[in-house]
Structure 1
Amino acid sequence: MKLLVGLVWLLSWLPFRAISALGWAVGSLIAALPSSRRRIGEVNLRLVLPDWTPAARRRLLRQHFVAMVQMLLEYGYCWFASRERIQRLVRIEGLEHLRALEGRNVILMMPHFTGLDLAGQRISLETPLVSMYSVQKDPWLDEFFRTKRLRFGNGIIFSRQQGTRPTLRALKEGRRLYYLPDQDFGHRDSVFAPFFGVPAATIGGLSRMAAVGNAVVLPCYPRRETDGYTVVIEPPLDNFPTDDVVADATRMNAVIEAQARRQLHQYFWLHKRFKSRPPGEADFYAK
């Protein structure tokens, strides 16, 4: 693992366009190889883009593998690049929406797009953040990840095992919550809401935390471009949350779908987003 970290350190010295080219080469190769992840991506794209031809979906999946590999190679920037280089590599569009909420509790709703870690690090240079993470099994790796995520000194993170109380406390104390709400965590605490027209198990955490934390929700997403990233911060969701968790989940998924359709290859399609099914429905991923 330490050798891999050393390789990532070496990659951090490469220009962004070189990382893009290397990611294209490696990602295209991986996309051509049979794998369980490729099969998951094929199932997801068939579900969400049923009107596309199989050839068009295959091209999109190849583009997605490229974007995923580019993201992995860019962790060198996340872990080792200077503050000034991060600021040059990642621009922010819509920062005025965040600044207009000075003194308010804010949740930055960040879906699973490639570039989400660079985006979070960039936003943390503008405002104090709090976020949640999954503990790594390897203690050395877990400590390494924690240290690198916090290396600019303007954020704090809590493990999911600690629950939401510490995160909510930090939100109420003025830190902005960087929150990723769009993966399938099973039936517990989830409702079914449409995502690309497919019922998807959707956690109600965004509306609950916004209600308990008296917070404004700002949707955001990163957009990978030829010379870096642009983090787009959208206007706040009005009349959110409501007392209807299904309506809130439906609205959240609609926002994420609109963001994903602007850059389909940069959304995470290798996760079993539709694994949990309503009663009576078959498993989409069963062979």
Structure 2
Amino acid sequence: MKIKISIAFIKLMSLFPLNVARNIGKVLGYCAYLANSRMYKTSLTNLQLCFPDLSSQERKILARKSLMHTGMMLAECGSVWLWPVEKILRKIEDVEGADLLQNARDLGKGVVIIGPHHGNWELVGLYLSALGKISLLYQTPKHKDLDALLTMARSRGRAKLYPARTKGVAAILSALKHGEMVGILPDQTPGLKAGEFAPFFGNDAYTMTLISRLIQKTGAKAFLVYAKRTGKGFKIVIKESDNDIYAEHMPTSLIGLNKTVELAVKDAPEQYQWEYKRFRHQPEGKQEPYKA
């Protein structure tokens, strides 16, 4: 029932101008803050771990802002998923670092796009699919209606969507070997034996090894790309990844991956998805922070 309501909400939001949808999303996020919701409590826990130097009041303010941005993200899905591609792309007001990505693509090698849950990550794939072929790896939703909506929305332009399973990994590996772009969300908790612990803002985070392995196997370049929310639209930001990501030593490479994600977070910490339980898996003997 919750999924059906969410889909109906997204479709409704597509009927409104972007600024109106955002304001509705802000209200939803603010309500989650006022209700002292689980999302708010998780956000506070994550912020305490990642930004211990902030005061308690500063973390509460940041958690509130983050929930409001999460509400905006949900509301924006109506525009990003259901508007004509040309219409939503016109909401991109600026692109930083476009030359970095273009220069890498001109070399003919594959490019790994690291797109964390920051700003509006759905817009990133749409923007990149307008530039060239891109293969996107995603976790298949259990609800078939949501899966159908996601598949339709993310497969527009020159994008190809692959489930995060063996065949999907083989497909994106092939795409990289053919000099194409591949997009992966780097800050989801991977499955068993698909990750290792690496520091994220100084805390042990179970981190996927897939991105590092793809780079090691293909010699691909890796870039951080995110769509930062601005007053009237979005700014696409493209940055080179931390150089450690290219290390053959897996622990070092994973440090580089998480440092790359940190670059986006530091740019606009309120736009990061702090309500995700990033640290729920801990090394043996350490307590999960969300149960404390």
Same fold by TM-score, threshold 0.5 exceeded? Answer: yes
Partner of 1:156: 160
Q: Say yes or no: does 1:26 pair with 2:31.
A: no
The amino acid of 2:163's aligned partner reads S
Superposition map of 1:128-167 within 5 A: 128-152=133-157, 154-161=158-165, 162-167=167-172
Tell me by how many angstroms 1:186 deviates. 5.5
Q: Say yes or no: does 1:99 pair with 2:107.
A: no
Q: Out of 272, 275, 280, which is 2:280 matched to?
A: 275
Tell me by how many angstroms 1:85 deviates. 1.4
Instruction: State percent identity of aligned pairs.
Output: 27
Partner of 1:56: 58
Q: Say yes or no: does 1:76 pair with 2:70.
A: no
Q: 1:110 to 1:82 in 2, by over 3 A?
A: same
Partner of 2:15: 13
Distance 2:217 2:188 in 1: 22
RMSD between aligned alpha carbons?
Answer: 2.0
The amino acid of 1:40's aligned partner reads T
Distance 1:187 1:52 in 2: 34
Tell me by how many angstroms 1:233 deviates. 0.8
Partner of 1:284: 289
Q: Check conservation: 1:187, 1:201, Cα contact below 8 A.
A: no
> SS of 1:79's equivalent?
helix
The amino acid of 2:198's aligned partner reads A
Q: Out of 148, 153, 178, which is 2:183 matched to?
A: 178
> SS of 2:291's equivalent?
coil
Could you tell which deviates more after superposition, 1-10 or 36-45? 1-10
Partner of 2:131: 126
Distance 1:76 1:100 in 2: 33
Q: Check conservation: 2:216, 2:248, Cα contact below 8 A.
A: no
> SS of 1:39's equivalent?
helix
Q: Check conservation: 1:130, 1:177, Cα contact below 8 A.
A: yes
Q: Say yes or no: does 1:114 pair with 2:115.
A: no
Q: Say yes or no: does 1:203 pair with 2:205.
A: no
> SS of 1:268's equivalent?
coil
Q: Check conservation: 1:193, 1:246, Cα contact below 8 A.
A: yes
Distance 1:256 1:236 in 2: 9
How many residue pairs align between the two structures?
286
- Give the TM-score normalised by the residue count of structure 1: 0.92
Structure 1 residues not aligned, in runs of 5+: none
Distance 2:145 2:192 in 1: 32
Q: 1:67 to 1:239 in 2, by over 3 A?
A: closer
Q: Say yes or no: does 1:245 pair with 2:280.
A: no
Q: 1:141 to 1:23 in 2, by over 3 A?
A: closer
> SS of 1:285's equivalent?
helix
Superposition map of 1:32-43 within 5 A: 32-43=34-45
Q: Check conservation: 2:137, 2:168, Cα contact below 8 A.
A: no
Distance 2:30 2:211 in 1: 35
Residue deviations 1:211-270, cap 9 Å, x none? 112211112222111111111111365575222111111122122212201111111111
The amino acid of 1:66's aligned partner reads M
Partner of 2:239: 234
Q: Check conservation: 2:245, 2:252, Cα contact below 8 A.
A: no
The answer to which structure has the higher helix fraction is 2
The amino acid of 1:24's aligned partner reads K
> SS of 1:51's equivalent?
coil
- Give the TM-score normalised by the residue count of structure 2: 0.90
> SS of 1:222's equivalent?
strand
Distance 1:158 1:187 in 2: 20
Tell me by how many angstroms 1:158 deviates. 0.8
Q: Out of 265, 272, 277, which is 2:270 matched to?
A: 265
Distance 2:194 2:4 in 1: 37
Q: Check conservation: 1:27, 1:66, Cα contact below 8 A.
A: yes
